[in-house]
Amino acid sequence: MIPGVLTVAGSDSGGGAGIQADLKTMLALGVHGMSVITAVTAQNSIGVQGAWELPVEAVRAQYRSVIDDIGVRAVKTGMLSSAELVETVAELIAGTDAPAVVDPVGVSKHGDALLAPSALDSVRTALLPVATVATPNLDEVAHLTGVRVESEDDLRRAAEAVLAFGPRWVVVKGGHLAGDAVDLLTDGSQEHWLRAPRHDNRHTHGTGCTLASAIASQLAKGQTVPEAVMAAKEYVTGAIAAGFALGAGIGPVHHGWNLG
């Protein structure tokens, strides 16, 4: 059977990030993608022009509809804009027997806020404790923990601060640092430093969604967390290298680059 993976995230009308990026990634990696839409955004290559959160009842109904009939081998979360949504999804994940990859989305690629400040504490106290893997970027680490990463030497301190909230593993994404694209994966005892060449390509919309979905896809296929993250890093690096122009701003990564 083809493993099923469920993404719980917002819709990106431009198709570069969010639910759309998640489902493309899952297809490219050979799993069956399913979705719980948490919000609808009016979004393109320039920015986010509007966002509308779905009612908690709609989110819960979508989740239960999939879990109760089809089941899942992994869950991935993305945009959860309010404390109520964060706490609801955390509760649902806690009752699901599958690994969960939490991408604590705070802002879009263009700098648009996608998480209410009042929801940050719910991410810390409810969502991160149920995560198998958390995948914050440096801005998200700063908002969640107060740790500012200026160099590779700070990545370990950032990871420790995120792990203190309870996820089993954390990937601190160092893509905003100078030099090679280096990420740190750790559970507090094991460390894996993941390096890739930095590609001179501005079209990187959807990178964070894509990485988290790729990790969830590999976990669903039975890989260990280190194996899944390493495979996901390789996939995302290729997608970034093949990113393409779309519209007048920042284009998306190419989710189908590996399909020939």
Tokens 């929801």, residue located = 119
- Indicate which residue of 207, 210, 233, 237 is catalytic: 207
24 is annotated as an active-site residue: no
**Higher per-residue confidence, 252 vs 105:** 252
pLDDT bin (cut points 50, 70, 90) of residue 88 is: very high
- Indicate which residue of 41, 88, 135, 204 is catalytic: 204
SS3 string of 209-246? HHHHHHHHHHHHCCCCHHHHHHHHHHHHHHHHHCCCCC
On the question of pLDDT at 114 being above 90, the answer is: no
pLDDT given at position 242: 97
pLDDT given at position 2: 97
| Range in 101-115, 192-206, 236-250 the model is least confident about | 101-115
pLDDT given at position 105: 84
pLDDT given at position 152: 87
pLDDT given at position 113: 58
pLDDT bin (cut points 50, 70, 90) of residue 112 is: low
| Range in 56-65, 87-96, 104-113, 119-128 the model is least confident about | 104-113
C-alpha 210/C-alpha 60 separation (Å) is 24
Q: Other CB atoms closer than 10 Å to residue 57's CB: what's the count? A: 9
What is the mean predicted confidence (pLDDT) over 174-201?
89
- Indicate which residue of 15, 78, 206, 243 is catalytic: 206
41 is annotated as an active-site residue: no
14 is annotated as an active-site residue: no
- Indicate which residue of 18, 145, 209, 233 is catalytic: 209
204 is annotated as an active-site residue: yes
C-alpha 9/C-alpha 51 separation (Å) is 12
What is the mean predicted confidence (pLDDT) over 77-88?
94
- Residue-wise pLDDT tens digits, 122-166: 999 999 999 999 999 999 999 999 999 988 889 999 999 999 999
On the question of pLDDT at 81 being above 70, the answer is: yes
pLDDT given at position 110: 57
Query: What distance separates the 2 farthest-apart alpha carbons in the chain?
Result: 47
- Indicate which residue of 173, 233, 243, 251 is catalytic: 173
On the question of pLDDT at 116 being above 80, the answer is: no
